[in-house]
Amino acid sequence: MKNYKTHTDEELMSFIQKGKEAAFNEIYARYSNRLLYFMYRMLGQDEAKAQDFLQDLFLKVVNDPSKFDTSKNFKTWVFTVAANQCKNTYRQQNKTTLDLDQIGELSTSESGDSIDNAAFKQELKERLNELHPVYKEVFILRYHEGLSLKEIALVADCPLGTVKSRLHSATQALSKKLIHYQY
Question: 2: how many CB neighbours lie within 10 A of its CB?
Answer: 10
95 or 34: whose pLDDT is higher?
34
Residue 96 has pLDDT above 70, yes or no: no
Residue 1 has pLDDT above 70, yes or no: no
pLDDT (tens digit, 9 = 90+) per residue, 51-84? 999 999 999 898 899 999 989 999 999 999 999 9
104 or 11: whose pLDDT is higher?
11
Any idea where the domains of the chain sit in the sequence? 1-95, 98-183
Closest CA to 26 of 62, 54, 56: 62
Question: At a CB cut-off of 8 Å and minimum separation 6, what does 116 contact?
Answer: none
Burial of 20 (0-12, 13-18, 19+ CB in 10 A): middle
CATH class of 98-183: mainly alpha
pLDDT at 121: 80
The torsion angle over the Cα atoms of residues 131, 121, 43 and 29, rounded to 10 degrees, is: 140
Q: Are 164 and 117 in contact, with CB atoms under 8 Å apart?
A: no
114 or 45: whose pLDDT is higher?
45
pLDDT (tens digit, 9 = 90+) per residue, 32-57? 999 999 999 888 888 999 999 999 99
pLDDT (tens digit, 9 = 90+) per residue, 115-168? 577 788 888 888 888 888 889 999 999 988 888 999 999 999 899 999 999 998
Residue 21 has pLDDT above 50, yes or no: yes
- CA–CA distance from 16 to each of 5, 33, 90 (Å)? 14, 20, 31
**Backbone region of residue 87 per phi and psi (left: phi > 0; alpha: psi in -120 to 50; beta: other values):** alpha
State the Cα–Cα distance between residues 109 and 152, nearest whole angstrom.
34
Question: At a CB cut-off of 8 Å and minimum separation 6, what does 78 contact?
Answer: 31, 35, 57, 61
Please give the share of the chain, as a percent, with pLDDT higher than 70: 83
Predicted confidence band at 92 (pLDDT cuts at 50, 70, 90)?
low
pLDDT at 110: 44
**Fold observed for domain 1-95:** Rna Polymerase Sigma Factor; Chain: A (1.10.1740)
- Terminal Cα distance for the chain, rounded: 56
